[in-house]
Copies of this chain bind each other. A is one copy, B any other.
């Protein structure tokens, strides 16, 4: 019934003492004020201003409205400013989730970028395997997830449903075969998956295990998985001791290096795609967008560095 614009007008009249001056101070024309007051008067059913001579004076009811204008308008301004701060990246919060090996380099770099560019934006970060982070995204407990998809597992179908989300490719991570330096194949430049039928295998996380099974399946056999651990330091240790071999993404090999383990390209080549996942709506939230952009930048830098490093 009564709105902020009305209060603003009444306050201007109280402050300025005339319709014309109030109109000027609000950037309106004089008749606009005249009509607005009349509208308010019919709405409230009371006289709000007293037209005396060529000036006007507020009645009691009019003074009441003018008096209430202050609190209401400043509260509105506060709300507007708060939203503007979020829109202008002077404020805002992003809840980011990423799988563990992404946390090592990609995420920290991106966080640093955002922090440098938009100090007001706070990012809360937690680790989680793709399955968890996507569930959190779906549940609204997370705004942006860094996940991965193994090449070959159909995007959009299968265990994780990427349908309601938008994915942004970050890195293509080649999956390599990790064997002990003492292994007969350690000197090969390339290894055929089909030639590994009799090996003993070490599997990583459940999804990685699934990927291994799929690779073997395409090659026509079921691998003998002797060990399972999500701790890749442990995996490297196991390999170094000759207890088995494993398929390990390049990105992980870059972080947990072991001198007694060599990594070899495989045929058929296998990759995992590291992607940032969010919803179309959240992607438009400035802070989320900024974080996403930072992730893309960091990923590009990492890819360049990787290319150089593999080049020499």
Interface status of A51 (Cβ within 8 A of chain B): yes
Report if A269 contacts B (CB, 8 A).
no
Q: Is A265 interfacial (CB 8 A cutoff)? A: no
Q: How far is the CA of A60 from the CA of B71 in the complex (A)?
A: 24
Q: In the complex, are the beta carbons of A64 and B79 less than 8 A apart? A: yes
A92 is an interface residue with CB less than 8 A from chain B: yes
Q: Chain B contacts of A259 at CB under 8 A?
A: none
A82 interface hit (Cβ, 8 Å):
yes
Question: Do the beta carbons of B50 and A279 come within 8 Å of each other?
Answer: yes
Identify the closest chain B residue to A71 (Cβ): B75
Interface residues of A in 35-94 (CB under 8 A from B): 44-47, 49-53, 57, 59-61, 64-65, 68, 71-72, 75-76, 78-80, 82-84, 86-87, 92-93
Q: A79 to B284, alpha carbons, bound, how many Å?
A: 37
B61 touches A68 (CB 8 A): no
CA distance A44 to B65 in the complex (A): 27
The answer to whether A61 and B140 have CB atoms under 8 Å apart is no
In the complex, identify which listed stretch (A3-11, A176-184, A221-229) lies at the interface while the others stay far away: A3-11
- Minimum CB–CB distance from A87 to chain B (whole Å) comes to 4
Partner of A51 from B47, B84, B281, B285 at Cβ < 8 Å: B281
Given contact pairs A2-B80, A82-B68, A140 touches B52 in the complex (Cβ within 8 A): yes
Report the minimal beta-carbon distance from A90 to chain B, rounded to whole angstroms: 12
Q: Is A1 interfacial (CB-CB < 8 Å)?
A: yes
B72 touching A75, Cβ below 8 Å: yes
How many angstroms from the CA of A76 to the CA of B69 in the assembled complex? 9
| Residue pair A87, B46 in contact (C-beta under 8 Å) | yes
Taken together as a complex, chains A and B put the C-alpha atoms of A71 and B68 apart, in Å, by 12
| Interchain CB contact under 8 A, B50 and A65 | no
Do A61 and B285 contact each other (CB < 8 Å), given the known contacts A76-B72, A83-B46? yes
What are 8 A-B pairs with beta-carbon distances under 8 A?
A: A3-B3, A4-B76, A44-B84, A52-B164, A64-B83, A65-B83, A68-B79, A72-B72
